[in-house]
Chain A
Amino acid sequence: MHGLRELQLGFASAVLDGAEGDFDRHVRTAGLSGARRLQVYRNNALLSLTGALEAVYPVARRVVGEGFFRYAAAQYIARHPSRSGDLHEFGEHFPLFLQSFAPAADLVYLPDVARLEWAYHRVFHAAGHPPLDVTALARVSAERQGDLRFELHPAARLLESAFPIPRIWQVNQDDHDGDSTVDLSEGGVKLLIVRRENLEIEFRPLEDGEFELLRALAGDCDFATACERAMAAQPTLDLPACFQRHVSQGVLVAFHLPTD
């Protein structure tokens, strides 16, 4: 008799890898063949995982069309199997996959559109966080301020693209009406994807300086270095106002001083 583990591994090879071999000898053929019955499970797995990708990447799907999306999804699923019983974790590598997916090579902006959708998905499900304790921050002595490390809200992400991805996102929403042309020469964007207090998600285009400031802080740079990078990126930046704004809008939510 075949053990349970061997049977499950054999099932996975037959259904996920299409390496059917003689696995159908384990399947009773009452009426329908074993191969037919296994095919149902192959379809179910494909539908389940394709559905998960469609839920996270509706804009990419709309851009390429349903048939193309399903084709791409099937290739992705074969190359990057699901690793969790929670389907919300599936699809993380889809943007990178699209970048090297030859049939989509002409759609140069597609991987970035997918990046935006994955960021949206993660922000949607991210933890909440109370605002930064400004009273405690004010107690940090002037000479230590440069050493401060700040944290972005768990529901905040930064994304840079050479294409106008918020515009592409917007014209591909179900409720969009009016002009739906996108001018790719409109240029790129530096974006903050952030969830507001009311749980709605917003795309905020940032200027070079504030983008660099947040990116440096998110990358665990100390405050002094982050400020230098921000000013280097945009010498005209009103740094104090910019910092204040991201604290008061709940983008920067925590800080600590590293112990020496």
Chain B
Amino acid sequence: MTAKPALSRLGPSSIPARAGIGLRAEHYAAVLETPPPVGWLEVHSENYFGAGGKPLDYLERIRAHYPLSLHGVGLSIGSTDPLDQRHLASLKHLIRRFEPALVSEHLSWSSVGGRYFNDLLPLPYTEEALDHMVGRVAQVQDVLGRQILIENPSSYLQYVESAIPEWEFLVELAARAGCGMLLDVNNIYVSARNHGFDAGAYLRAIPRHLVREIHLAGFTVNRFDDGELLIDTHNRPVWPAVWALYHQAMHRFGRIPTLIEWDSDLPELAVLVDEAHRADAILEECHAWAA
């Protein structure tokens, strides 16, 4: 990707190896009033698919201060339905307007037969699904004219048909489609607990050059009479065990831009900024090791 001169209305174009926060509508005013000391911001792409109005107006004003990442939650990239070209066109338009440093989507599907779950659903990890994902990611990158990152999801079930570990599936996908990886450390922890695999082994299986972004968030524990499931709810602080795994991840991968995600039961902005500073402290430590 060649660097192009930034237009005056847009802020910095590249994302630093620091912590950023997810920007939600509830915090627009607070962010503009006193731009918080975080390295970058990420938004859900679909929240800016409208033709005009406040969301785009706020994003434009906020973009003047921060590098931006666009994170998609609705492309349904793993679906066997045709890709939604209108959705892709909206995303492309948004990319042109805001020049994000990173654009990401999920290793998941969310619709079939034209019906949308509006949720991130697990794929079976089979050769067929891998071929399918490779083709779809390539198609998306062709339309957008740029690389995207694919994020590992939290999952609550595994298919009997799955024959490839998730980490191998992702690495193979990145190698064949030429996409990067957005590694969600919370999701690794959640899925590892839900399915009984070793989160550390997951990290060790990922080549460091593939990882462009890290996500951190809070999960919720759902207890049932026959066991428990961790649910990726993004409604509370990062858990200590996830911080520990993040520590390991940064030790392995070096300093990677890290996002604090918080999407429901939003606290005041300062709480997110504190979480980001905690991630920054770990990133600094990694810098010290590397030095």
- Contact with B157, one of A27, A84, A87 (Cβ below 8 angstroms): A27
Please report the C-alpha to C-alpha distance between residue A209 and residue B4 in the assembled complex, in whole angstroms: 54
Which residues of B sit under 8 angstroms from A34, Cβ to Cβ?
157
CB of A154 within 8 Å of the partner chain: yes
CB of B55 within 8 Å of the partner chain: yes
Closest residue on chain A to residue B47 by CB atoms: A88
Please report the C-alpha to C-alpha distance between residue A25 and residue B160 in the assembled complex, in whole angstroms: 8
Please report the C-alpha to C-alpha distance between residue A49 and residue B52 in the assembled complex, in whole angstroms: 23
* B51 and A127 within 8 A (CB): yes
* B74 and A126 within 8 A (CB): no
A window 1-24: CB within 8 A of B: 1-5, 7-9, 11-12, 15-16
* B128 and A3 within 8 A (CB): yes
Please report the C-alpha to C-alpha distance between residue A128 and residue B57 in the assembled complex, in whole angstroms: 11
| Among listed A36-44, A142-150, A177-185, A222-230, interface-contacting one | A36-44
CB of A102 within 8 Å of the partner chain: no
* A86 and B52 within 8 A (CB): no
Which residues of B sit under 8 angstroms from A118, Cβ to Cβ?
none
Which residues of B sit under 8 angstroms from A168, Cβ to Cβ?
none
* B50 and A88 within 8 A (CB): yes
- Contact with A40, one of B52, B53, B156 (Cβ below 8 angstroms): B156
* B129 and A82 within 8 A (CB): no
Interface string of B219-232 (1 = CB under 8 A from A): 00010101101010
CB of A26 within 8 Å of the partner chain: yes
* A12 and B118 within 8 A (CB): no
Interface string of B118-130 (1 = CB under 8 A from A): 1101011010110
- Contact with A48, one of B109, B112, B118, B159 (Cβ below 8 angstroms): B118
Given contacts A12-B112, A40-B222, contact A88 B49 (CB under 8 A): yes
Interface string of B144-174 (1 = CB under 8 A from A): 0000000000001111110000000000000
* A125 and B53 within 8 A (CB): yes
- Contact with A16, one of B50, B115, B123, B124 (Cβ below 8 angstroms): B115
- Contact with B117, one of A9, A16, A26, A123 (Cβ below 8 angstroms): A16
Please report the C-alpha to C-alpha distance between residue A1 and residue B195 in the assembled complex, in whole angstroms: 22
Please report the C-alpha to C-alpha distance between residue A228 and residue B110 in the assembled complex, in whole angstroms: 51
B window 38-55: CB within 8 A of A: 46-47, 49-55
Interface string of B78-99 (1 = CB under 8 A from A): 0110001001001000000000
CB of A195 within 8 Å of the partner chain: yes
Q: Whole-angstrom distance from the CB of B207 to the nearest CB of chain A?
A: 26
Which residues of B sit under 8 angstroms from A249, Cβ to Cβ?
none
Interface string of A62-90 (1 = CB under 8 A from B): 00000000000000000001111111101
CB of B5 within 8 Å of the partner chain: no
* B112 and A11 within 8 A (CB): yes
Please report the C-alpha to C-alpha distance between residue A40 and residue B119 in the assembled complex, in whole angstroms: 11
Interface centre among B55, B75, B109, B115 (most CB of A within 10 A): B115
* A26 and B52 within 8 A (CB): no
Closest residue on chain A to residue B196 by CB atoms: A30
Closest residue on chain B to residue A195 by CB atoms: B53
Given contacts A45-B119, A48-B119, A199-B54, contact A85 B229 (CB under 8 A): no
> What's the tally of chain B residues with a CB closer than 8 Å to chain A?
51
Please report the C-alpha to C-alpha distance between residue A126 and residue B53 in the assembled complex, in whole angstroms: 6
B window 51-77: CB within 8 A of A: 51-55, 57, 73-76
Which residues of B sit under 8 angstroms from A3, Cβ to Cβ?
128
Please report the C-alpha to C-alpha distance between residue A26 and residue B84 in the assembled complex, in whole angstroms: 27
A window 167-216: CB within 8 A of B: 195, 199
* B90 and A86 within 8 A (CB): yes
Please report the C-alpha to C-alpha distance between residue A86 and residue B72 in the assembled complex, in whole angstroms: 10
- Contact with A7, one of B158, B159, B226 (Cβ below 8 angstroms): B159
Please report the C-alpha to C-alpha distance between residue A179 and residue B291 in the assembled complex, in whole angstroms: 67
* A41 and B116 within 8 A (CB): no
Given contacts A37-B157, A87-B118, contact A9 B87 (CB under 8 A): no
Q: Whole-angstrom distance from the CB of A32 to the nearest CB of chain B?
A: 5
Which residues of A sit under 8 angstroms from B49, Cβ to Cβ?
86, 88
Given contacts A85-B116, A87-B46, contact A8 B52 (CB under 8 A): no
Which residues of A sit under 8 angstroms from B121, Cβ to Cβ?
11, 41
* B160 and A84 within 8 A (CB): no
Which residues on B are within 8 Å of A, measured CB to CB? 46-47, 49-55, 57, 73-76, 79-80, 84, 87, 90, 109-119, 121, 123-124, 126, 128-129, 132, 156-161, 195-196, 222, 224, 226-227, 229, 231
Can you report 26 A-B residue pairs in the complex whose CB atoms are below 8 A from each other?
A1-B126, A4-B132, A7-B124, A7-B159, A11-B121, A16-B115, A26-B124, A28-B158, A32-B224, A32-B226, A33-B226, A36-B229, A40-B231, A44-B117, A44-B119, A45-B118, A52-B118, A81-B115, A83-B116, A85-B74, A85-B118, A86-B90, A124-B50, A125-B50, A127-B52, A199-B57
